Chains A and B, each alone.
Chain A
Amino acid sequence: MKKQVRLKIENISLVIACVLFVLMFGAGAIHYDHFGSLSTFLNLFNDNAYLIVVATGITFVLLTGGIDISVSSVVAFTCVLSAYLLQLGWSAAVVICIVLVIGLLNGFLIGYCVQELKIQPFIITLASQFLLRGMCAVVSTVSIPIENNFYKAAALNKIAFKIGRTNAKLYLYVFLALAVVCVAFYVLNFTRFGRTVYAIGSNELSAGYMGLNVKWVKIGVYMISSFCAALGGVIFSFYTLAGYSLQNMGMELDAISSAVIGGTLLTGGVGNVLGSVVGVLIQGVIQTIVTYQNLNAWWTRVTIAALLCLFIVLQRIISIRADKRKGGH
């Protein structure tokens, strides 16, 4: 009997990711004092809220089988431009609108190049990455602090918990990030747009033959990815209260690996945003452990890359075996 092969890839990956998270967190809790607390857990969200948003956005692109490596530059450009404009005395609302629109525009141009001009996604997003990173430096090569009151309020407002003797807090912007995840989950599972995303990743040609609007959905996913990156940039500027042209180098890998660890297939069609959130949390735990262990910060990167590698290999093996079992082409 043929088994539920495809479903399994997603589930196995997600289950492994969840187990991994619990194991890592547990190991940390046993090994270090003060690690196994609600506060550490909530801090994973506080510190990685921006990454949750970016990973959620990039999941859309990965689900169609595409890739977007411009997100880190979008985040950096958003921060630098916001900081620069706020320094000039622009109001927070206007600045946020401007950077979000820039995100949408960037996504539209990438999507148009991919869909209509048939340029490979990685080349065009690589070019976009360079362009925006260069633009950061054009705006400012030095770090600009943000002193706007709204940003400060957004950075500091939090909900504090007191359970027993431990204090824990959750910043308000985390709720914004979680709201984005909820909306993304709804869109992917309960709207025609979302289902078309899966259909394109599963078989783009078929999706076209079934009369789905492949063109606009494909442009749409790049717009979502880039928009989420811009929103992630806004949250990141709340988090750091500064804009610096070299921040977040290589963050696209964090976002992509979050999605992959969470069960998204890089060939598209399988995955979901909740997995991506688990992926982000796993990276958060790794980072926390590296900090606790007082290791070189680069260990985080190396570990994450190794983890990504492991999951990619896992995906390949499962899909190769699935193909064999199916006996199809």
Chain B
Amino acid sequence: MENDLILRMEHIHKTFPGVKALDDVEFSLKAGEIHALLGENGAGKSTLIKVLTGVETKDSGTIVMDGREISPKSPIDAQNAGISTVYQEVNLCPDLSIAENIFIGREPRKRGAIDWKSVNEKSRELLKEFDLYLNVEESLDNYSVAVQQMIAIARAVDVKAKVLILDEPTSSLSTQEVEKLFDIMRMLRERGMGIIFVTHFLDQVYQVSDSITILRNGSFVGTYAADKLPMLDLVGKMIGKDFESLEAIPKLSGEKKDAEELLAIKDGATNEISDVNVSIAKGEVTGFSGLLGSGRSEIARLIFGADKKTSGTTFIDGKEAEIGNPLDAIKRGIAFCPEDRKKDGIIGDMSIRENIAIALQSKRGLLHKVSRKEADKIAQELIDELAIKTPSADQKIKNLSGGNQQKVLLARWLATDPRLLILDEPTRGIDIGAKAEIQKIVVELAGRGMSCIFISSELEEMERCCTRMFVLRDKKIVGELSGDEISQASIMKRIAGENKA
């Protein structure tokens, strides 16, 4: 059995400042096997992948590939060792042609010059295996993300890889596209390639995987054969003993039947999405669920004025309200924690105090400065209330852990005393303890009469927090659920498009 082992990682440790990202993790992969790597956000999956592909270097531990010890220091090293990766966000060059994206860095040459004819021919042949018939000379950004993903896989496969890593490959694909991807994965398995499949869609794991390795909070939980591990056990192992702490959050008692409407969008559209009709009730937690790229964040950005509205009307308290930019929204009591905390949320080099005071300052206007004393007071109160772990409010926000950064962002918006709080993936990439706390805060705030919009990929937390829900697919609202109708199964069904709502 051990003979066909192609990759073995043992005792891998990796520490980032303040975080133990990987703690004595092991992982092994056989030839001709699809091996799912699972864990909650922040469990260490992506760090393990980065260590394997040379993007990060491990602190200690061994990686043995084909009986030889390797320690890749860059993606080139990893590729030369036979490890190819397709990342979640397609990592190709949009300005180059398809053929070039497949062959760049290893183009066939004739007398020293790149032989473009053979580059194009070879890529056509290669794509034929994937059932793709494209004009390979056209530039890549003319094609959809799904096609780009296939091309990335084609490239990865063609570099004579023995190990193929697919990091969240399905998150922006439609059902049919996912099927096609799985066919390709099975075909590659037949050829004896070892595939590491990172995903958070559990059904998909069971569709294609042979074995499963689970990580939790940076530690190794175990490796199991897929057919011997029921889904319920799988979830239990992923969430671990903290399962109970999540369970302890009181579920909001159903839909508030008499709730008044706080905000409504009629026929709203931006460059990203169109035909948006939603209504948010006072004191409710409204969920937007759907896959990544399904349009859930786009609606949130539309409501907040983060993306420019091209048509449609916003009503607040039944009256028409013009929201052309975030500041308008803030003045009307809307708050927004964006999906990408690092890029759009925190202002890394500034102190916690400033990060908290900044939105309140915008709301008041340039000339009415929030005094140092007042900022100190507000910051301290919110730090205490949300239990933000920091030595002082003077600390730069970038030095905090993910969960605490998220809480500071929450504090930023609570300081403005909003009527509607929009949270886009507030629990992504933070540890389970902080996750539970944030969920609890959301539920409490709603209890106090604040409206919330909650967006998350994790259906289980959506089910727990939301009292009403819009389900999205392909940038369209495909269903509306409320109260007891909300269950993981019913959401899944609508996301998958089995049930017309």
Per the CB under 8 Å rule, do A and B touch in the complex?
yes
Contacts from A to B (Cβ < 8 Å): 2-7, 186, 189-192, 195-196, 198-199, 201-203, 205-213, 269-270, 324, 326-327
Contact of B93 with A202 in the complex, beta carbons under 8 Å: yes
Identify B94's interface contact among A186, A196, A202, A210, CB under 8 A: A202
What is the distance, in angstroms, from B450's C-beta to the closest C-beta of chain A? 29
Q: Does chain A have a CB within 8 A of B142?
A: yes
B92 within 8 A of A: yes
- Which chain B residues in 77-116 approach chain A with CB under 8 Å? 79-80, 85, 87, 91-96, 100, 104-105, 107, 112-114, 116
Q: How far is the CA of A96 from the CA of B93 in the complex (A)?
A: 39
**Top 8 closest pairs, chain A to chain B, by CB:** A202-B93, A202-B95, A190-B113, A269-B95, A206-B91, A211-B76, A209-B91, A211-B79
The residues of B with any CB-CB pair to A shorter than 8 Å are 55, 74-76, 79-80, 85, 87, 91-96, 100, 104-105, 107, 112-114, 116, 138-139, 141-143, 155, 159, 271-272
Contact A210 B92 (CB under 8 A): yes
Report whether B79 and A2 are in contact in the complex, using a CB–CB cutoff of 8 Å. Answer: no
B100: nearest residue on chain A (CB-CB)? A195
Structural contact, B142 and A192, CB atoms closer than 8 A? no
Residues in chain B near residue A196, CB distance under 8 A:
104-105
Residues in B with CB closer than 8 Å to A7 are 139
Min distance, Cβ A191 to any Cβ of chain B, angstroms: 7
- CB <8 Å contact, A6 and B100: no
Given contacts A190-B114, A195-B114, contact A327 B271 (CB under 8 A): yes
Q: Select which of B75, B80, B107 is within 8 A of A210 by beta carbon.
A: B75
Given contacts A210-B92, A211-B79, 15 further A-B contacts (CB under 8 A): A4-B142, A5-B142, A7-B139, A189-B114, A192-B104, A192-B105, A192-B107, A196-B105, A199-B93, A199-B96, A203-B93, A208-B74, A211-B74, A211-B80, A213-B76
A207 and B114 in contact (CB under 8 A), knowing A2-B142, A213-B76?
no
Cβ–Cβ < 8 Å partners of B93 in chain A: 198-199, 202-203, 206-207, 210, 269
Question: How distant is A238 from chain B, measured CB to nearest CB, in Å?
Answer: 31
Contact partners of A202 in chain B: CB under 8 A: 93-96
With A2-B143, A4-B138, A195-B107 known as contacts, the answer to whether A324 contacts B92 (CB < 8 A) is no
- Whole-angstrom distance from the CB of B170 to the nearest CB of chain A? 18
B352 to chain A, nearest CB (A): 26
- Residue ID in chain A nearest B310 by CB atoms: A324
State the Cβ distance, A133 to closest chain B Cβ, in Å. 34
Contacts of B96 in A (CB 8 A): 195, 198-199, 202
Q: Are B91 and A192 in contact (CB under 8 A)?
A: no
User: 12 pairs across A/B with beta carbons < 8 Å?
Assistant: A191-B112, A192-B104, A192-B114, A195-B114, A196-B105, A199-B93, A205-B91, A206-B93, A209-B85, A269-B94, A269-B95, A270-B95
Do B139 and A6 touch (CB < 8 A)? Answer: yes
**Shortest distance in angstroms between B473's beta carbon and chain A's nearest beta carbon?**
16
Q: Which of B75, B87, B95, B105 has the most CB of A within 10 A?
A: B95
Contacts of A192 in B (CB 8 A): 104-105, 107, 114
A86 to B418, CA, bound (A): 75
The docked-state distance in angstroms from the alpha carbon of A196 to that of B79 is 17
Identity of the chain B residue whose Cβ is nearest the Cβ of A215 in the assembled complex: B74
> In the bound complex, what is the Cα–Cα distance between A196 and B112 (angstroms)?
16
Cross-chain contact B76 with A324 (CB below 8 angstroms): no
* Chain A residue, CB-CB nearest to B92: A206
- A195-B114, A198-B95, A202-B95 known; A4+B105 contact, CB < 8 A: no
Question: Residues of A contacting B139 with CB < 8 Å?
Answer: 4, 6-7
- A6–B143 Cα gap in the complex (Å)? 12
- Is B142 in contact with A211, judged by CB distance below 8 angstroms? no
By a CB distance below 8 angstroms, the chain B residues around A195 are: 96, 100, 104-105, 107, 114
Across-interface contacts of A206 in B (CB, < 8 A): 91-93
Interchain CA distance A203-B85 in the complex, whole Å: 17
Alpha-carbon distance A2/B95, docked complex (angstroms): 14
Q: Which residues of A contact B114 (CB under 8 A)?
A: 189-192, 195
A212 to chain B: which residues have CB within 8 Å? 76, 104-105
Query: Please, which residues of chain A bring their CB within 8 A of the CB of B76?
Result: 211-213
Residues of chain B contacted by A213 (CB below 8 angstroms): 76
